[in-house]
Structure 1
């Protein structure tokens, strides 16, 4: 009407009951692109169509990246684990994208959804519940080997690799330790010889004890912790906690009280070696007199050499990794109660120790007839 008959836009708008601006827009589109002005049926012009196609491809690539990031390691697992991941995340991404990213078929996934679980899947579900219970019961500190020992203790057969797989499937990961390699440049002690010479073992109870002091930060200030460990069973036989270490009398009392508790618990020792670092509290006259009065021989690490007391470092590393790290204690009493709980309720009584065959120190002593 407008281009061929010469009707004005205003007249055509009135005749067709269409807004005049719409007609003028159609005229401009026809003039700019006579062949692709009106694709129709929801189709787009070539350039917008290409842009939209690229947008969809970018969205899909981003989704595949996110899928693989979230499901890292699933490509090494069986199809059941990949199908379980798809079922869990199909509300976030399209099933087709998930299947393509994880290299499985959509038909296989839908068949898996309708298939009843097999015997191994039922066993995995049962064992997985016990794996999680063991992990939670250890305050999320156990790795696969200790969890495996807990599962075996309940009479359930299963290999270590199966436990590792079930832990990965449930995202159960123990808190890692902060490890470092200290420089080994210590000098021989002039106070007492380094008798163990890095042989951290004992043939019988109360043959070798190791001791040290660490500290815990609270909102009220530092809480200092001293511990004495029997190398035979790795049991903490004596401990003490003090709020200060500024005065010499206080520091002497900290380590003295820990040794007194150990002697009270284990009885007066016979041919016992006490190994510590060269801290002033261990070299003090009251502490040396206490050891002499009880017939305890003194041994000390070389100056500045933590490897000479690595077993002691291992215990305090476990304490800080498994219980203290990430916590904020409002008071010293709160920290004292938590450290007590870790030592007496968990470490001595429950925690499986790799050095003594993955049993707890108390259970190990019970097995040899000591406890």
Structure 2
């Protein structure tokens, strides 16, 4: 394989001068210098176009070429810094341990010095951090951080810092609420925000069996089966609406009865009440509170209450706060489970609502009204007291 010949700037200039000043033809000069004619013509054009900067020499560039190369290098650096900052967004408010951890994780992708400069930490500090043993606080943060993430995932990404804090304390990690908030920010764990809208019952209401508001917003009960609150809501599926009726025992906020049907009928709320009776037994003195929906004011439902010896109480017309315990339950159900789902069938929606009520809300969900115990835990604890 022939070695490519190189020529000095002086050689090129003298070759062009041979043609331009001494009148030697390009063909003759090419034969004399053992060059290709096109090479000589290229040298002639280059010297004519820029006599001062032509033939800068091996490894050197013309000023405009050097400027283009410098700009390309600067653009490449800026792009790299942009990618670093894009990947490491949210790190500027974090401590140096978090930033150094980012550098260690990505040093195979970007130069260490560039990452350190972009994040505002020193390169020497990073290498010292690599060999320095981890502090007790850092190890503790890692252990608690894992527990924080596990609690967040177990709650189906619905728990905020206060409920997660109770889980962490229960797991045997003493710490403060602000630490939980910091670890949640570090891991970008954010509970689903609550919706502002309240559920609205647009069904026709009858005044035939409207009861007074005996509950009067007294949502606390001294014992189980003294005060029950009831209401229903609806959720959309690909097959149409699914209506969900629920009965809450205000003593523990436990969902003691529920029913799900495709029709908004009296049977819907009747089945929810009967489930509560089957599960809790027929109480001696019970107040049943609901709104003034046509399902609750119907003759059939009112006769059932009378046969069971249950006292009826109803919210004032158009006042959702009179049954705010139920409104809060349905808001939690929709915010923490339903609003993030697209149900292909009513059966799929029923299974998910059942899972939320029986496996999560009653058994595990920490309720702020109950001192951050679940309804089941609260009842068990009160039985032992």
Structure 1 counterpart of 2:16: 3
Match of 2:105 in 1: 88
Paired residues for 1:148-227 under 5 Å: 148-180=165-197, 191-227=210-246
Partner residue of 1:134? 151
Question: TM-score scaled to structure 2, two decimals?
Answer: 0.83
- Secondary structure at the aligned position of 2:167 is classed as helix
* Higher mean C-alpha displacement, 110-119 vs 222-231: 110-119
SS in 1 for 2:121: coil
Q: Match for residue 347 of structure 1? A: 361
Give the alignment partner of residue 101 of structure 1, picking from 91, 94, 118: 118
Structure 1 residue 173, shift from structure 2 partner: 2.6
- Rg larger in 1 or in 2? 2
> In the alignment, is residue 361 of structure 1 matched against residue 380 of structure 2?
no
Which residue does the alignment assign to 1:290? Answer: 304
CA shift, 1:78, in A, is 0.9
Distance between the aligned counterparts of 1:83 and 1:275, measured in 2?
58
Offset, 1:228: 0.8
The answer on whether the counterparts of 1:210 and 1:228 sit within 8 Å (CA) in structure 2 is yes
CA distance 1:170–1:335, change in 2 (3 Å): same
SS at match of 2:274: helix
Change (3 A) 1:176 1:69: farther
Please give the secondary structure, in 2, of the residue aligned with 1:368: helix
TM-superposition CA deviations, 1:40-71 (whole Å, max 9, x none): 45443333433443444444445444444443
CA displacement, residues 224-283 of structure 1 (integer Å, 9 cap, x when unaligned): 2110112221110110111223xxxxx111101111111222222344332222221112
Q: Distance in 2 between matches of 1:305 and 1:64?
A: 56
Greater CA drift, 97-106 or 267-276? 267-276
Q: Deviations over 1:174-209 (max 9, x none)?
A: 2222224899xxxxx963334444443333322322
> Following TM superposition, by how much is the alpha carbon of 1:370 offset from its aligned partner in structure 2, in angstroms?
8.0
Q: Distance in 2 between matches of 1:230 and 1:157?
A: 33
Q: Which residue of 1 aligns with 2:10?
A: none
1:243 is matched with which residue? 262
Shift of 1:212: 1.5
Shift, 1:159, TM fit: 1.7
8 Å Cα contact 1:2/1:8 also seen in 2: no
- Residues 351/52 of structure 1: CA separation in 2 closer, same or farther (3 Å cut): same
Q: How many residues align?
A: 361
> Offset of 1:84 from its aligned partner?
1.3
CA shift, 1:335, in A, is: 2.0
Q: Give 1:102 deviation, angstroms.
A: 1.5
Q: Is the 8 A contact 1:211 1:312 kept in 2?
A: yes
Mean Cα deviation higher: 196-205 or 128-137: 196-205
For 2:292 and 2:54, the matched residues in 1 are separated by: 90
Change (3 A) 1:52 1:350: same
Uncovered stretches (5+) of structure 1, i.e. residues with no partner:
184-188, 246-250
Distance 1:38 1:263, change over 3 A: same
How far apart, in 2, do the equivalents of 1:231 and 1:268 lie? 16
Alignment match, 1:323? 337
1:73: how far off?
3.2
**RMSD (Å), alpha carbons:** 2.8
Deviates more, 1:158-167 or 1:344-353: 158-167
> What is the CA–CA distance in structure 2 between the aligned matches of 1:324 and 1:197, rounded to whole Å?
30
Match of 1:307 in 2: 321
User: C-alpha distance in 2, partners of 1:215/1:53?
Assistant: 64
